[in-house]
Amino acid sequence: MASVFASIVQAPEDPILGVTVAYNKDSSPIKLNLGVGAYRTEEGKPLVLNVVRKAEQLLVNDLSRVKEYLPILGLAEFNKLSAKLILGDDSPAIQENRVATAQCLSGTGSLRVGAEFLAKHYHERTIYIPLPTWGNHPKVFTMAGLSVKTYRYYDPTTRGLDFQGLLEDLGAAPAGAIVLLHACAHNPTGVDPTVEQWEQIRQLMRSKGLLPFFDSAYQGFASGSLDTDAQPVRMFVADGGECFIAQSYAKNMGLYGERVGALSIVCKAADVASRVESQLKLVIRPMYSNPPIHGASIAATILKNSDMYNEWKVELKAMADRIISMRKQLFDALTAKGTPGDWSHIIKQIGMFTFTGLNSDQVAFMTKEYHIYMTSDGRISMAGLSSSTVPHLADAIHAAVTRSC
C-alpha cells in the first residue's frame, strides 16, 4: 500500500545552507566555503572563545546547578543583562521598567516570537523588509501571519545604500506599518546607514508612526565596539517611542549551536510592558514551552562578571578586526591584479558579509572552475577567508570578471 505521504514533493535545498551541502560533496583540496555565516580562524577552523570555555567550565564545576525547566520567558538574569547590553547601562527604558524581554531561540526564534506577537496583538499586519535582506526574514514573517512588503535599500550601481529610495518607500508606507531594520552589519550587503542617515530614518518613522523591529545579530561583531553597533537601536529608544529588538549571541559569542537570543519589546509605560510580557508567555508556551538553559547560562556568566566581560570584548574585537583585515587584503589583491571595476565597496562595507556585485553566472563559474562556494547573489562571508585563501579568491574573481567583460 502506498504511503499517505506519497504525493509530497522533494523540497529544494535552503539557498544558504545548501551551499554548505554542495561544498561538502566536493572532493577538491582547494575548495573554499564562503557561504556559511559563521566565523572561522585564520586556519579556517570554527572558533570557541576562551571566555566561553571558561564560563562553561564554571557552570560544569558548580554542582548546585540542576537541569530543571526554565520559566516560559527564560533565564531572568540573562534577560536583564541582554536588555542592558543592547540598550545601554543607563537606559531610561530599563530604569523605568518599560522593557519586556524573553529569552528565545537565537535571532530566528526572537524574530518569530515577535512576529507571532504582532500578528496577534498589533493593528497593522504589514511588515516592510529591506531589499535585499537575509533569506529567512520573509519566511519567518510570512509563517507568523504577517504580510511582507519591501523597501529599497541596496543600490547595485554604487554597491552602497539607496538612501533616497529607502526614504521614499518608508514615506509611502501606511501609518503604523512595521519596519524591519538591521541594527548593524546589514546581511547580505554589509551596507549600513551613517549615524546622520539613521537620524533621518528615525525622524521619518516616528512622524509616520511606523513601528521599528530591529534585528541585532552582530552587536560588537561589525565595528568591534558593542556600543557603536548598538547606536541605531539606542537612538530609537532615546526618543521614548516603542520598538522591538531581536538579539542573537550566535556571532558575537560564537554560540551558534546553543541557540541563544532574546526578544525585547520597549514600551511607553511600565504597566504596558507588564501586560506585553504576560501575552508573550501565551505566544511561547504552545510554541516550545520554555527555552534551553545551557547557552543562556554561558552568556549570563560572561555578561555579569566584569573580568570575563572585558575578556569577551577583547576576543570580540579580535574577530571583528580579522574580518576588516580580510576586506583590506582582498581589495589589495584585486587592485594589484588590475581586476576591472571599482572594488572599494569591499572595504566600505562592514560585518561578516560582502555583497561582491558578482552575478549568478560568475558565481557558478567560480564554483565550477575554482571550487569556491557562495550564495548565487554574490554574497561572500569574509569570516570564511584567510590570508592563505585570499589569492585563490582574487584569482577566481578576476577570471570571472574578465571572462564576462
Give CA 334 to chain center in angstroms: 28
**For residue 40, what is the DSSP state?**
B
Q: Cell for 255?
A: 554560540
Set 134, 229, 312, 343: catalytic member: 134
Set 54, 192, 229, 251: catalytic member: 251
List, in order, residues 6 or more apart from 390 with CB less than 8 Å away: 326, 329, 330, 333
User: 147 burial class (0-12, 13-18, 19+ CB within 10 angstroms)?
Assistant: middle
CA distance linking residue 110 with residue 216, whole number of Å: 10
Q: Cell for 216?
A: 541585532
CA distance linking residue 163 with residue 355, whole number of Å: 17
At 145, is the secondary structure helix, strand, or coil?
A: coil
Catalytic residue check, 251: yes
List, in order, residues 6 or more apart from 177 with CB less than 8 Å away: 124, 126, 127, 128, 210, 211
CA distance linking residue 20 with residue 46, whole number of Å: 14
- Are 402 and 366 spatial neighbours (Cβ–Cβ below 8 Å)? no
CA distance linking residue 71 with residue 90, whole number of Å: 27
Helix (H) or strand (E) holding 263: strand 260-266
Catalytic residue check, 134: yes
Give me the residue label for grid cell 514615506.
171
Among the listed residues 230, 226, 111, 228, the one whose alpha carbon sits nearest the alpha carbon of residue 178: 111
Set 169, 192, 215, 229: catalytic member: 215
Give CA 153 to chain center in angstroms: 16
CA distance linking residue 284 with residue 112, whole number of Å: 10
Active centre residues (catalytic):
134, 215, 251
